[in-house]
Amino acid sequence: MWRDALLIAGKDLRIELRSKVTFNQILPFGFIVLIVFAFALDTSPDTLQMVAPGLFWLAVLISSILGVDRAIAIETHDNASDGLLVYGVDPGGIFLGKVASVFVQLFLLEIVLTIAMIVLYGPKIGGWPLVTISAVFATLGISAAGVLYSQLASSSKAKQTLLPLLLVPVASPVLLAATKSWQDAFAGSAWLVDPWLRLLIVFAVVYLALGTVFYNSILEG
């Protein structure tokens, strides 16, 4: 299973390296979301600094919808996933591979967006360890839930409209927890026992497990 996961992740990342969809389309989109949020609120530095973590994670969540949709679209096109199953690739491996590839792309996107956020909103960031660790688990959770739901909705012609409806309420705890743990971290708390971090870890583990167990049924069913 792990070997299959690595293979799938490698394949998807290679596709991304060649097509650069995330880099050329999703990343600029996340950037513009950060900019228009400032339009919607206020340009006063106080407001922007205060809401920076929330806006950042909302931008990530919105971008992730595009990212997971893309990750599954690669497979549904020409029924490529059937091909993978015929080759004997482990379904759990496909799931974990997809999650890994989405995770890498989203994490890179977050690094760029963090820099953009610091420049645009100017928050002062304290505890970097907590910032990094929460980002890792939040991204893992979003990727796992996203890939799972994207696959569930994949047979639909209306999947572009269905996916956000399914994913956003499910991922709302991640949005909340990531925002809050970043607020704690920005305020200078570096300890990793933050309850929000625990929630992020639980969410990521639950969705990774659910996806690994159920992916087979979704693909075949």
Partner 1 sequence: MGSKRYQRLRRAMGIVSVLLVAVTVVLGLWVTPPDVVQGQLVRLIYVHPPMAWVAYLAYGVTSLASVLYLWRRTRNLRWDLLAASSAEVGVIFTGLTLITGSIWGRPAWGVWWTWDARLTTTALLFVLYIGYLALRRIPADSHQRAVRSAIAGLIAFIDVPIVHQSVVWWRTLHQGATVLNPSLSPRIHGEMASTLLLGFIAFTFVYVWMLLHRYQIAALEQNVLDAELEKLIQERRNEPGLGSSQIESSGDANNVGQPSKV
Binding flag, residue 166, partner 1 (CB under 8 A):
yes
| Strand ranges (E), the chain | none
CA 205 to chain centre: 14
Nearer to partner 1 among residue 13 and residue 152 (C-beta) = 152
Binding flag, residue 38, partner 1 (CB under 8 A):
no
Residue 190 CB, shortest distance to partner 1, in Å, is: 18
Binding flag, residue 76, partner 1 (CB under 8 A):
no
> What six digits make up the tokens of 141?
């959770």
- Exactly one of 199, 201, 208, 212 binds partner 1 (CB under 8 A); that residue is 199
Binding flag, residue 165, partner 1 (CB under 8 A):
yes
Selection from 190, 177, 34 nearest residue 117 by Cα:
34
Three-class SS of residue 193?
coil
Task: Say which residue the tokens 């096109």 belong to.
Answer: 77
Three-class SS of residue 38?
helix
Q: Distance from first CA to last CA of the chain, Å, rounded?
A: 20
Binding flag, residue 156, partner 1 (CB under 8 A):
yes
Selection from 125, 118, 126 nearest residue 188 by Cα:
126
Nearer to partner 1 among residue 32 and residue 187 (C-beta) = 187
The length of the chain in residues reads: 221
Binding flag, residue 176, partner 1 (CB under 8 A):
yes
Binding flag, residue 88, partner 1 (CB under 8 A):
no
- Binding residues for partner 1, per CB under 8 A? 148-149, 152-153, 155-156, 158, 162, 165-166, 168-170, 172-173, 176-177, 180, 195-196, 199, 202-203, 206, 210, 214, 217-218, 221
